[in-house]
Structure 1
Amino acid sequence: MKSSLLMLLVVAVCAHAHGATESAGSAATVGKGPYPGFAPGYLTPQEQLDSKAMLPPPPVQGSSAQAADEDAKQAAATLRGTPRWQWASKDAELMFPKAAGTFSCALGLPIDEGTSPNLTTLLRRSLVDAGFGTRDAKHLHQRARPFVAKSEATCTPDQEPYLRKDGSYPSGHAAIGWAWGLILAELAPERADALVQRGYDFGESRRICNVHWASDVAAGRLFGSAVVARLHANMEFATQLAEAKREVAAARAAGLPPKKDCAAEAQALGR
């Protein structure tokens, strides 16, 4: 597999091998899908959306769209070394169980295997549908990432060797974050504004980190939206969504707080 997203996840598995364990519930699904070491998505390879057919090509050099990407890149450069830059490196994390809590502050509840196993599985499996679904367009366009094109640093230097090897367009992280925000907004409509905003911020972290152009992120969000729409026709997803909604209601009734420093997150994200 040549996808940079897959390579980054494999690296994450190795990095966490001695410090993180999956619960029995999660481990039961790992290894049964097309991506070794990760839970299978809800969609079969035949059902997966075709990102290369769905998305328009990325901006070309000399176009007004590329000029807009360059302007957005320069604006993001002013954030290097700030708390927002540092938070962008946190948002690069896609390895479970750590990644499960990314949206816990926006949800106002803990998200982990202990309190919300169905919700955690929902996030793990939709990650594959949204994130790995971008690989065909990435391979087709092979767009150079901004840090490669400009010989600059990123907020995740340990990942740079792998990011150099694959295309920038569209952003897999942006697709995942946007899909997660939309799914969570369905589970907790009273928190929809905060959850969708967190999904937006998750994608912006890739631009701020200097690993994606703004148009990569926008295309990722478009693909993430399409994946969520497609998932609603999947009965297994619908069943797990209903179970996750019950978990959210139970956690809300019990008054369970997020297991994160939400004040620090809000400050870093400018909320």
Structure 2
Amino acid sequence: MLKLINAGVAGALLVGLAACATTPAPVFWQGFRDHPHGYLRKEGAPDASAFLPPPPEAGSLRQQADVETYRTTRKLEGGDRWRQAAADNEIETPSAPRVFDDALGVRFDPVKTPTLALLLGRMLGDLETIQTPAKKGYFRPRPFVAEPATTCITPEPWLGRSGSYPSGHAAMGWAWALVLAELAPDRADAILVRGIAYGESRVVCGVHYASDVEAGRLVGAAMVARLKADPAFQTDFKRAREELRRLRD
């Protein structure tokens, strides 16, 4: 699970930005344990359990379709799409948005775009706040738990103990895609396609059902809609737009 601590990551980043060009590059977080907090307070954030429909019922046609997709995608093991799904598992470091490099037409560089890196990183903290009530409330077993089979990654113990619905990776990939598409509208189509594929990787990997991914995209869209009304997010968004513009020039 995502563990957020009160580390001075954001402060260190701002100090690095304010320092002169001869000083070392900004200090970024390393992963979940020192990850920066999101923009939203819990009491002001959307609650996924309040707006998401429940996952498909056991024995329903939708659940049967989910299981069949899970079984079918096991046949992709060892192929290019399987390897891409494994690569798409990375989500927590400042370099995670590099999955959008081809779509953006430029290599994402946290050092050159520190505000953009922090903005995208803080969104992961907001996602945890928004999705946790649904994940814990519905607690849908993951496909590889309900029906053990090969997955594209070696699941850590906590993954099997966490809820499958909704997919956090799908939510994050779609939310990042929506933000990046607005920052680089000329690349919007490619960015959105990549955001969809990022979520689909969870099905290919075998760690989520297809309906988990669809629900995740709803969560991601809700998160972006709420962040657009947050003053701190909007301030960072404007700075990030200028950073990305310089990177792409």
2:84 maps to 1:87:
yes
Query: Which residue matches 1:52?
Result: 49
Is 1:247 paired with 2:234? no
Higher mean C-alpha displacement, 191-200 vs 108-117: 108-117
Match of residue 217 from structure 1: 213
One-letter identity of the residue aligned with 1:170: P
Amino acid at match of 1:26: F
Measured in 1, the distance between the counterparts of 2:84 and 2:144 equals: 18
2:185 aligns to what?
Answer: 189
**Amino acid paired to 2:140:** R
Whole-angstrom distance in 2 between the partners of 1:54 and 1:203: 20
Q: 5+ unaligned residues in a row in structure 1: which ranges? A: 11-21, 254-271
* Alignment of 1:75 onto 2:77: no
Paired amino acid for 1:146: P
Give, in angstroms, the shift of residue 108 of structure 1: 1.1
Q: 2:169 touches 2:198 (CA, 8 Å); kept in 1?
A: yes
Is residue 222 of structure 2 the alignment partner of residue 226 of structure 1? yes
Of residues 53, 60, 65, the one that matches 2:62 is 65
User: Which AA in structure 1 matches 2:217?
Assistant: R
CA-CA distance at 1:103 after TM superposition? 1.4
- 1:143-163 per-residue CA deviation (whole Å, 9 max, x = no partner) reads 111111111121111x34221
Distance (Å, rounded) in 2 between the aligned partners of 1:160 and 1:113: 27
Partners of 2:27 and 2:159 lie apart in 1 by 31
CA distance in 1, matches of 2:92, 2:55: 28
Q: Spell out structure 1 runs of 4+ moving beyond 3 A.
A: 22-27
How far 1:167 sits from its partner (Å)? 0.9
Pairwise CA distance, 1:131: 4.2
Q: TM-score, normalised by structure 1?
A: 0.80
AA aligned to 2:83 is Q
Structure 2: 5+ residue stretches without partners:
6-23
Cα deviation per residue 1:51-82 (whole Å; 9 max; x = unaligned)?
A: 11111110011111112212322332221111
Query: Relative to 1, partners in 2 of residues 1:102 and 1:249: Cα closer, same or farther, differing over 3 Å?
Result: same
**In 2, distance between residues paired with 1:197 and 1:74?**
24
Judging changes above 3 Å, is the alpha-carbon distance between structure 1 residues 240 and 252 closer, same or farther for their aligned structure 2 residues?
same
When residues 109 and 180 of structure 1 are mapped into structure 2, their CA distance, relative to the original with a 3 A threshold, is same
- Using structure 2 for the length normalisation, give the TM-score: 0.86
d(CA) in 2 for partners of 1:106, 1:39: 26
* Counterpart pick for 2:131 among 130, 134, 150: 134
- Closer/same/farther in 2, CA of residues 23 and 202 from structure 1, 3 Å limit: farther
AA at the equivalent of 1:233: A
Structure 2: distance between partners of 1:112 and 1:47:
31
Cα deviation digits, residues 117-143 of structure 1 (max 9, x gap): 111111101122124421111111111
Alpha-carbon contact 2:94-2:118 (below 8 Å) kept: no
How many residues are matched?
231
